């Protein structure tokens, strides 16, 4: 145990700690994806009913109505399209975060999407509304993920290694 803590102490003195950054970026990716998937499961009714008081929406109709409250300038059909579109985008972002494909762009997309959610909540539901959901944490977490120099344990890393190997064979 003493050796482990000594090793961690030694690493904390380094200018960069690649291992900790690797763990942090993986943790960020998984955390953001899980929260996206959790919200999707909620709106599909997989986490409980709307009447249970344990979920935000509990069914698609409640989520669609909530989406319409965030976009009151749209008619019902367009608000439903926005609900379906945001759900599809969240599924895509969650999957890409887990597999680690085009992570910098995915993280920027996540920050933009949650910024739009937060602004819409603040404008149409009041300034405290974004505090009831994790969007306030999603924005800086996504931007932090986008700013990292490398994404170990990702499809991006596998592809970069493959390209480097291929270039080595050619050169």
At 100-110, the pLDDT tens digits run 999 999 999 99
23 part of a folded domain: no
What is the pLDDT confidence band of residue 4, given thresholds at 50, 70 and 90? low
Q: What is the pLDDT, as a whole number, of residue 16?
A: 59
62 part of a folded domain: yes
Contact (CB, 8 A) for 90 and 39: yes
20 part of a folded domain: no
User: Domain range for residue 90?
Assistant: 30-170
Contact (CB, 8 A) for 134 and 28: no
> Rounded CA gap, 94 and 29, in Å?
8
Cα 154–Cα 28–Cα 48 angle in degrees, nearest 5: 110
14 part of a folded domain: no
Higher pLDDT, 92 or 163: 92
The total of structural domains in the chain comes to 1
**Residue-wise pLDDT tens digits, 46-60:** 999 988 889 999 999
Q: What is the pLDDT, as a whole number, of residue 29?
A: 97
Cβ atoms within 10 Å of 39's Cβ, excluding its own: 21
57 part of a folded domain: yes
82 part of a folded domain: yes
114 part of a folded domain: yes
7 part of a folded domain: no
């Amino acid at each position: 145990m003493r050796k482990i803590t000594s090793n961690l102490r030694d690493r904390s003195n380094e200018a960069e700690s690649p291992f900790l950054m690797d763990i942090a970026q993986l943790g960020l990716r998984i955390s953001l994806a899980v929260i996206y998937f959790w919200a999707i499961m909620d709106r599909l009714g997989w986490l409980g009913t709307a009447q249970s008081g344990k979920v935000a929406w509990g069914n698609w109709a409640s989520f669609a109505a909530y989406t319409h409250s965030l976009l009151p300038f749209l008619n019902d059909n367009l608000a439903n399209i926005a609900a379906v579109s945001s759900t599809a985008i969240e599924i895509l972002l969650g999957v890409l975060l887990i597999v680690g494909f085009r992570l910098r762009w995915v993280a920027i997309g996540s920050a933009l999407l949650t910024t739009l959610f937060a602004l819409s909540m603040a404008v149409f539901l009041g300034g405290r509304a974004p505090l009831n959901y994790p969007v306030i944490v999603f924005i800086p977490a996504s931007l932090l993920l986008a700013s990292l120099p490398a994404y170990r344990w990702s499809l991006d890393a596998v592809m970069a290694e493959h390209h480097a190997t291929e270039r080595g064979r050619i050169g």
